[in-house]
Structure 1
Amino acid sequence: MNKQEKLALVESALEDFYGNQQFASSLREAVLYSIHAGGKRIRPYLLLEVLDSLQVPITQEHAQVAAALEMIHTGSLIHDDLPAMDNDDFRRGRLTNHKVYGEALAILAGDALFLDPYALIAQANLPSQTKVDLISNLSLASGSMGMVAGQVLDMEGEGQQLSLEELQTIHANKTGKLLAFPFQAAGIIAGLDENLQRQLKTVGELIGLAFQVRDDVLDVTASFEEIGKTPQKDLQAEKSTYPALLGLDQAIAFCNQTLDQANAKLEEISQVVSFDKEPIVKIVESLRING
């Protein structure tokens, strides 16, 4: 199954969940506006690709778990763009949700995308314990011990000179945990032991860190057309970023070094379990800057 086929399964899972919803049609429209905004779908794709690398045949149930993850990520983008947060007019190359539907409906669309995923996983035809583990870990990655906490720390850090350790703590939660979840979830679905699940999760955490450093670099070097959102927003908000803290060249080097660590961990895993690391390495390499 190639990338397009995997992502088509995810799109199908999203459409099946919202397609026949009859209540609050304006809410459905706002939700689907952001879901259909596109993006790379890197989180759901990673989940299905890691399963494939573990030689687990991809099913619609796996696509439902991947879709649930994408729903939470999309909801976070809606809220992140609100005037009370990053106050951005564009996301993925078009107007942000609140610019089209107003702040109140955008907030509620984000709320729906935070809550609906758990129903989607619960409905999946997977073993009960697998679903419990997936729901538990997705909640921990998303809520007050993960992404939401990271967003709070990020806002509190505006206008301050943070240390590298403080910056990494923010992004380990704000960005890293939702990028680590696909690896952890694949381990859960594949029935791997806890040690291998932790090793896979570490790969995701390293990719999440590199992803954030790369995002910070692009914020100061890329155009609107390249990133699909307003550039230099972090600079205007006086946020601590990796280029601001390390300098642009060192931030790029740090990103690439982190990706090297992810590749090394993938090699370790491939030595102890049947795991085709090459497709994941290809994704890792796609994040490399000037590489």
Structure 2
Amino acid sequence: MGTKLTEFENLWVPKINQVLENEIAPDTDQKTLTNAMSYSVNAGGKRLRPLLTLAVLTSLGDNIDHTILKTSCALELMHSYSLIHDDLPAMDNDNLRRGKPTNHVKFGAGMATLAGDGLQPLSFQWLVDNDLDSETQAELVLALAKAAGPHGMVSGQADDIEFEGTRLPLEGLQKLDQNKTGALIRYAVEASLIMGRVIPEKRQAMLTFAEKFGEAYQIYDDILDIVGTEAQIGKPVHQDAGKNTYPNLLGLDKSYEMLHKTVKAAQDALSQAGRDLSIDTSLLNDFTSYFKNKDEK
């Protein structure tokens, strides 16, 4: 991991965690629901998505005040909602997440469902319950709604359920993962471009970086299910038999090859973004080290 990213994480992860630990309860009025929502949000995690937002804003030279920080953290609420629902008995029926019992194991399926139901609208509330201008607020809400909704993450989840046990072609798998995993990662970068007031004509290369980063993230996650350990990734491994994953479709060697090509494409897009926006992208390039030195066969 690059020095810049390590320093950036050391600076911002505690601040992200502080927002997530302190600012959910004031917006709720049912104790068990509050506990269930906070349980999953604060169970750990890399905070990758808000870090990406903050890293792009930093690279653009923007100041990050509390409003920008909390607005960036809204995505972590949406991400946590998706994990709670994904783990439910009616979905993947997982019992472990981030090394801890999943929400429905801790609170029951009904309360876990409601915890997700609470986190999803709260993420939108955090995008508008602030002093950002109304145009920025509206653009953020529209972008997150598209990323998380039936043309984004929920569509990917639906494909995941519908086609389990059916071997998708590569194009179908890529569409599934682009929606299920990639859409929120793309939004993390898009949110920073919106808050940073980057004109639409200058956004595309940075968004391509986000899309390729999200694709690499899912390929790597699929690989870890085979080569990783439960302690390493915080959830049971070898759970993807019968599912549409890159190793199941291509084999492990070809999956590594696709990972390397996808990371290279992300780096190339980032270089173009640096030229388009006249910014230093070395901090963002460090994010691609997430996939390095961990993929030895």
TM-score of the alignment, normalized to the shorter chain, above 0.5: yes
1:186-265 alignment runs, 5 A limit:
186-235=192-241, 238-265=242-269
Amino acid at match of 2:295: N
Partner of 1:73: 79
* Corresponding position: 1:130 with 2:136: yes
**Counterpart pick for 1:282 among 268, 279, 286:** 286
Amino acid at match of 1:117: S
Q: Would you say how many aligned residue pairs link Structure 1 and Structure 2?
A: 289
* Corresponding position: 1:145 with 2:151: yes
Q: SS of 2:223's equivalent? A: helix
**Counterpart pick for 1:5 among 11, 20, 26:** 11
1:162-177 alignment runs, 5 A limit:
162-177=168-183
Partner of 2:33: 27
Amino acid at match of 1:261: A
Provide Cα deviations, 1:176-221, integer angstroms capped at 9, x if missing partner. 0101111111111111111222322211111110000000000111
**Counterpart pick for 2:65 among 59, 64, 67:** 59
* Alpha-carbon offset, residue 165 of structure 1: 0.2
Provide Cα deviations, 1:19-62, integer angstroms capped at 9, x if missing partner. 33561100000011111101101001111011101111111111
Counterpart Cα distance in 1 of 2:228 and 2:256: 14
Amino acid at match of 1:166: G
TM norm structure 1: 0.96
Counterpart Cα distance in 2 of 1:67 and 1:285: 23
Partner of 1:271: 275
Contact kept in structure 1, 2:39 and 2:103, CA below 8 Å: yes
Tell which deviates more after alignment, 165-174 or 4-13.
Answer: 4-13
**Counterpart pick for 2:110 among 104, 109, 112:** 104
Which runs of no fewer than 5 residues in structure 1 stay unpaired?
A: none
Counterpart Cα distance in 2 of 1:91 and 1:43: 18
Contact kept in structure 2, 1:259 and 1:285, CA below 8 Å: no
TM norm structure 2: 0.94
CA RMSD of aligned residues (A): 1.4
Which runs of no fewer than 5 residues in structure 2 stay unpaired?
A: 1-6
Counterpart Cα distance in 2 of 1:5 and 1:19: 24
Contact kept in structure 1, 2:263 and 2:288, CA below 8 Å: yes
Counterpart Cα distance in 1 of 2:32 and 2:25: 13
